[in-house]
Amino acid sequence: MSHEEDKAKIVAAMGGKKGLIDSGLPALVFLIVFNVTKDVRQSSYAALGLSLALTALRLARKETIQHAISGVVGVAICAWLSNRSGKAEDFYLPGLWTNAIYGAAYLVSILVRWPVIGLIIGPLLEENLRWRKDPARTKVYIKATWLWVGMFTVRLLIQYPLYISGNVNALGTARLIMGYPLFIATAWATWIVIKSGPKLRDDLRAVN
């Protein structure tokens, strides 16, 4: 399998470009509409409407809708929270919960030496779980998983104080900057770490 094929599989496993669009655009629409209307209800409904439209588009094109459906559920929860409290910043609260949960899960996986990235990427690279019998290869996946722990942690360290302060514009902007760009950078760094690290031992690669 070529490096380009490996990279494509890794990108797809991390959500792919369409997954990023489905999860990122509704948050942008919420921020724009809120700045125009100052109305939490209208803003949340606009974000939810876009998420539903993206899902319908994926269905019409017979594309994978896994991430689109996840996006609808996520935006619906965000809309419900912000409408219930009347606070625009609560639209971004589930994102903080998600980063905390994922960050903790990735960290625990490292501590028990079952790094999440290895569990996701190993089967895609036709290594399955054989990499666990190769200490050098295991370290590669641990290193890659640390990148994601770092991403989730940085998001929390920056966005949570903005949430507490109620600064919706700053929080929404930070969410956008630390959404697409940081995710793509982390995914790219993950690919570099996996590509440049020690490969699975030949005796393990030959095992079915």
Average pLDDT, the chain: 86
Residue 140 — very low, low, confident or very high, per pLDDT cuts 50/70/90?
Answer: very high
In terms of Cα–Cα distance, which of 16, 25, 34, 32 is closest to 53? 25
Q: What is the pLDDT of residue 11?
A: 62
* Percentage with pLDDT > 90 across the chain: 56
More confident call, 26 vs 88: 88
Q: What is the pLDDT of residue 66?
A: 66
- Secondary structure of the chain in the HEC alphabet? CCHHHHHHHHHHHCCHHHHHHHHHHHHHHHHHHHHHHCCHHHHHHHHHHHHHHHHHHHHHCCCCCHHHHHHHHHHHHHHHHHHHHCCHHHHHHHHHHHHHHHHHHHHHHHHCCCCHHHHHHHHHCCCCCHHHHCHHHHHHHHHHHHHHHHHHHHHHHHHHHHHHHCCHHHHHHHHHHCCHHHHHHHHHHHHHHHHHCCCCCHHHHCCC
Is the pLDDT at 20 greater than 80? The verdict is no
One-letter identity of residue 132: R
Q: What is the pLDDT of residue 65?
A: 62
Is the pLDDT at 44 greater than 70? The verdict is yes
What angle in degrees, to the nearest 10, is found between the helix axes of 168-177 and 135-165? 160
Q: What is the pLDDT of residue 51?
A: 86
Is the pLDDT at 208 greater than 60? The verdict is no
**Lowest mean pLDDT: which of 4-8, 34-38, 138-142?**
4-8
More confident call, 124 vs 18: 124
What mean pLDDT do residues 141-169 have? 96
**Cα 42 to Cα 45: distance, rounded to the nearest angstrom:** 5
**Structural domain that includes position 34:** 3-205
Under 8 Å between Cβ of 103 and 149:
yes
**Structural domains of the chain, count:** 1
Q: Give the tokens for residue 41.
A: 């209800």
CB atoms within 10 A of CB 8: 13
Q: What is the pLDDT of residue 79?
A: 92
More confident call, 170 vs 184: 170
Q: Give the tokens for residue 206.
A: 């030959």
More confident call, 73 vs 163: 163
